[in-house]
A and B are shown apart, each in its own frame.
Chain A
Amino acid sequence: MSDLTPEKAKAYWARTSGLMWTMLGIWFFFSFVVHFFAPQLNTIRIIGFPLGFYMAAQGSLIAFVVSLYWFASKQNAIDEEFGVAEDE
């Protein structure tokens, strides 16, 4: 923190917040928005699954897991870009 100028600290937090909002968007979409359309999606069938059921049982979960790994690496890239990652 000490070697970070106020401008850089501000820019860092803006990038971090931006990623936070992106992730919140992903979270909201796969937690709620997709499932609003469950009645319509259920008319489609994929390998036996009604699609609306599938999204709640597996689809959203896969999206959650993948987005978390993506978030961890993305935030890490931001940290390194601003030189605020921890020393190993």
Chain B
Amino acid sequence: MANNTQTGGKSFIDNLGKIYGIYTGGFAAFVIILAILEQMGVPNKIIGYLFVFMTVGVYALIGVLSRTAEMGEYYVAGRKVPAIYNGMATGSDWMSAASFIGMAGSLYLLGYDGLAFVLGWTGGYLLVSILLAPYLRKFGQYTVPDFLGARYGGNLARFAGVIVLVSASFTYVTAQIFGVGIIASRFLGISFEVAVFVGLAGILVCSMLGGMRAVTWTQVAQYIILIIAYLIPVVIMSAKVTGVPIPQLMYGQALEKIQALEPALGVVKGHAAVFSDAKGNMNFTDGMNFFALILCLMVGTASLPHILMRYFTTPSVREARQSVAWSLFFIFLLYFTAPSYAAFAKLEVYQNVIGQQITALPGWVKSWGDIGLVGACDAANAATQFALCKGVTGNGDGILQLSEFRIAADAIVLATPEIAGLPYVIAGLVAAGGLAAALSTADGLLLAIANALSHDIYYRMIDPHAPTKRRLIISRVLLVFVAIIAAYTASTKPSTILAMVAWAFSIAASGLFPALVMGIWWKRTTGPAAVAGMLAGYGMCVYYLVMTQFYGMPLWFGVKNISCGMFGMPVAFIVTYVVSLVTAAPPKEMQDFIDSIRIPKGDVKLARAEDALSH
């Protein structure tokens, strides 16, 4: 990998299967060795340290070996990432700490309503593949704003694109670093603020020296670890509860038992209850919000630049399409497993926790209660033992009722190894997986932001004659700079930051999707119209978010502000359409440019020579 020459790069690509095969085998051997060490009495803390440092060390090694000084390698990994590996890299780029740790917990707490996330975070890839990725790959430059600049005739559109890109990606990356901090602090026993900067160092060695090339090969390695770590605990759990180690099929049984237990436990909103409010009554507003969220998450998927730019790295348009299919397949493996975590955890709680004597609760309730993720709040002074019990008044009868039980969303995945009675090494494995998920997403996002600033703002708008070397230095400096700002923001533990992750999807959907799709599919779309549409959609979405979140503005038609794209997207589409009709049609050169990106074969005919990429 260290070899920058063409032949060295080629033999690396040819041997990818072998290299990652050995890597996966090595990782399995590492886990087995740690399991043996644990049996020999090595303390848990050491096991946790070994997991975190070994995995982050491997990512850093890949990052250093993939260092590069070539523009094409730095920005688009030399455009030689095969479809299947780009699929894996996209999978870990996509699945964040929220997917890995948070999703199963949300499904536990929300039941059917939580499936909006499962649907919304997968179906968007259809839009990516049919509407955007192949055409952006054919266009073949470095960034999403590059396309906006070339299609809409200049820097105004490029700049509008950068604004949307940075606002959507920055909140997202802050949340990832927050996630890294939580995992690192829990498993290394260091303070959250220190853990954030430790995680930051890990992210930077992966991405700084090698840009997209390093991030790509690190993300493939991270995908392998995160999917192994996600599947193992729940497979064992399924084997234990149902006798069959296929959780995705067997949790149907768990659901059946849960639904049978619900009436006796006094659950008013069942796990599978659809479109209902907290009292379990089906109503229109809840149904509408379910579908609104699905739409915003899907369209947002198809607009987030750190995902779209992954399809700039495949060798051909054809492989870009195949790569989207592989991406969704690798993402699917985790997402269709997540509901089984929720179901098995809920069954355990309903069968072995609720209705038990406080003195006879399973051990995991106490151990996760101690770190504030679970609360058994029967006694009047329960809050002294369980932080989660603050504000909950138990009846003090010595038996735990459903209304006295609290569990944080994060606990579901993290505690499953212990619920299933597995050794600590599996808990360490889960932590390594969560860390891989958070680090890989943070890498991709940071690179998207830094590239937009260095390539689109500095090189394209400020100094188009800057030599390659200076451009690469600027890229790296900006990467470190953005990373430090994001880490600083995360270390202040902003309370709204996690909610803002979901906002990023609505913001991207409102700001970027209409301009990208109409630019490819409707030749009549004009530059001024696209800029007006982007700003109107982005402005609409942010206005609704800020006014409802911070200034107490009532919701419009009951649409939750997480789905502000429901207002932003139509506004952007209508403004783009209307302004296009009242402005002069794009010139012949622009029409030819669009024709040339619609067809896989042949050269791209740029409408303006200055949009060409110089190396």
Binding site for B on A (CB under 8 A): 1-2, 4, 9, 12-13, 16, 19-20, 23-24, 26-27, 30-32, 35, 38-39, 42, 45-50, 52-54, 56-58, 60-62, 64-65, 67-69, 71-72, 75-76, 79, 83-87
Contacts of B256 in A (CB 8 A): 45, 48
A53 → chain B closest CB, angstroms: 4
Which candidate, B159-167, B225-233, B599-607, is the interface stretch facing chain A? B599-607
- Per the bound structure, the CA–CA distance linking A32 and B251 in Å amounts to 24
Are B336 and A57 touching (Cβ within 8 A)?
Answer: yes
Residue of A nearest to B316 (CB): A86
Are B322 and A52 touching (Cβ within 8 A)?
Answer: no
18 A-B pairs whose Cβ atoms sit less than 8 Å apart in the complex: A12-B599, A19-B130, A27-B127, A35-B294, A47-B253, A60-B119, A61-B122, A64-B123, A65-B325, A68-B324, A71-B130, A72-B322, A72-B324, A76-B318, A79-B600, A84-B602, A86-B317, A86-B601
Are A64 and B255 touching (Cβ within 8 A)?
Answer: no
Binding site for A on B (CB under 8 A): 112, 115, 118-119, 122-123, 125-127, 129-131, 134, 248-249, 251-256, 259, 272, 274-275, 282, 290-291, 294-295, 298, 316-318, 321-322, 324-325, 328-329, 332, 335-336, 339, 595-596, 598-603, 605
Residue of B nearest to A75 (CB): B321
Contacts of A61 in B (CB 8 A): 118-119, 122, 332, 335-336
A59 → chain B closest CB, angstroms: 10
Are B602 and A2 touching (Cβ within 8 A)?
Answer: yes
Contacts of A48 in B (CB 8 A): 251-256
Mostly, the A contact residues are: helix
Known A31-B119, A31-B294, A69-B325; judge A13-B252 contact (CB<8 A): no
Contacts of A16 in B (CB 8 A): 598
Known: A64-B332, A68-B125, A68-B129. 18 other contacts (CB 8 A): A19-B130, A38-B274, A47-B252, A48-B254, A52-B112, A58-B248, A58-B336, A61-B122, A61-B335, A68-B126, A71-B130, A72-B325, A75-B321, A79-B318, A84-B600, A84-B601, A86-B316, A86-B601
Contacts of A42 in B (CB 8 A): 272, 274
A27 → chain B closest CB, angstroms: 4
Residue of A nearest to B596 (CB): A1
Are A31 and B123 touching (Cβ within 8 A)?
Answer: yes
- Per the bound structure, the CA–CA distance linking A39 and B602 in Å amounts to 51
- Per the bound structure, the CA–CA distance linking A8 and B224 in Å amounts to 44
- Per the bound structure, the CA–CA distance linking A30 and B291 in Å amounts to 12
Known A47-B249, A61-B332; judge A20-B131 contact (CB<8 A): yes
B246 → chain A closest CB, angstroms: 11
- Per the bound structure, the CA–CA distance linking A66 and B321 in Å amounts to 13
- Per the bound structure, the CA–CA distance linking A45 and B125 in Å amounts to 29
Contact residue among B115, B290, B328, B601 (Cβ-Cβ distance under 8 Å from A57): B115
Contacts of A58 in B (CB 8 A): 248, 336, 339
B275 → chain A closest CB, angstroms: 7
Contacts of A60 in B (CB 8 A): 119, 122-123
B135 → chain A closest CB, angstroms: 10
Which 3 A-B pairs have CB atoms at the shortest separation, nearest pair first? A48-B252, A68-B325, A1-B602
Contacts of A69 in B (CB 8 A): 322, 325
- Per the bound structure, the CA–CA distance linking A27 and B488 in Å amounts to 40
Are B291 and A13 touching (Cβ within 8 A)?
Answer: no
- Per the bound structure, the CA–CA distance linking A85 and B118 in Å amounts to 34
Are A67 and B595 touching (Cβ within 8 A)?
Answer: no
Contact residue among A13, A23, A50, A53 (Cβ-Cβ distance under 8 Å from B126): A23
Contacts of B251 in A (CB 8 A): 48
Known A24-B130, A50-B272; judge A64-B118 contact (CB<8 A): no
B333 → chain A closest CB, angstroms: 10
Are B274 and A39 touching (Cβ within 8 A)?
Answer: yes
- Per the bound structure, the CA–CA distance linking A67 and B329 in Å amounts to 11
- Per the bound structure, the CA–CA distance linking A75 and B317 in Å amounts to 11
Known A48-B255, A53-B112, A76-B321; judge A13-B598 contact (CB<8 A): yes
- Per the bound structure, the CA–CA distance linking A33 and B201 in Å amounts to 46
- Per the bound structure, the CA–CA distance linking A75 and B339 in Å amounts to 33
Contact residue among A38, A39, A71 (Cβ-Cβ distance under 8 Å from B129): A71
Contacts of A67 in B (CB 8 A): 126
Contacts of B328 in A (CB 8 A): 64-65, 68
- Per the bound structure, the CA–CA distance linking A46 and B256 in Å amounts to 10
- Per the bound structure, the CA–CA distance linking A48 and B605 in Å amounts to 57
Contacts of B130 in A (CB 8 A): 19-20, 23-24, 27, 71
Residue of B nearest to A56 (CB): B115
Are A39 and B275 touching (Cβ within 8 A)?
Answer: yes
- Per the bound structure, the CA–CA distance linking A46 and B317 in Å amounts to 40
Contacts of B295 in A (CB 8 A): 31-32
Contact residue among B129, B248, B255, B291 (Cβ-Cβ distance under 8 Å from A32): B291
Are A71 and B321 touching (Cβ within 8 A)?
Answer: yes
- Per the bound structure, the CA–CA distance linking A64 and B125 in Å amounts to 8
- Per the bound structure, the CA–CA distance linking A54 and B255 in Å amounts to 11
Contacts of B332 in A (CB 8 A): 61-62, 64-65
Are B282 and A39 touching (Cβ within 8 A)?
Answer: yes
Residue of A nearest to B327 (CB): A68
- Per the bound structure, the CA–CA distance linking A26 and B123 in Å amounts to 10
Are B112 and A1 touching (Cβ within 8 A)?
Answer: no
Are B123 and A49 touching (Cβ within 8 A)?
Answer: no
Tell which of A20, A27, A72 has the most Cβ of chain B within 10 Å.
A72
Tell which of B259, B272, B322, B605 has the most Cβ of chain A within 10 Å.
B272
Contacts of A45 in B (CB 8 A): 256
Contacts of B253 in A (CB 8 A): 47-48
Contacts of B322 in A (CB 8 A): 69, 72
Are B595 and A9 touching (Cβ within 8 A)?
Answer: yes
Are B595 and A1 touching (Cβ within 8 A)?
Answer: yes
Contacts of B290 in A (CB 8 A): 35
- Per the bound structure, the CA–CA distance linking A31 and B125 in Å amounts to 12
- Per the bound structure, the CA–CA distance linking A56 and B122 in Å amounts to 11
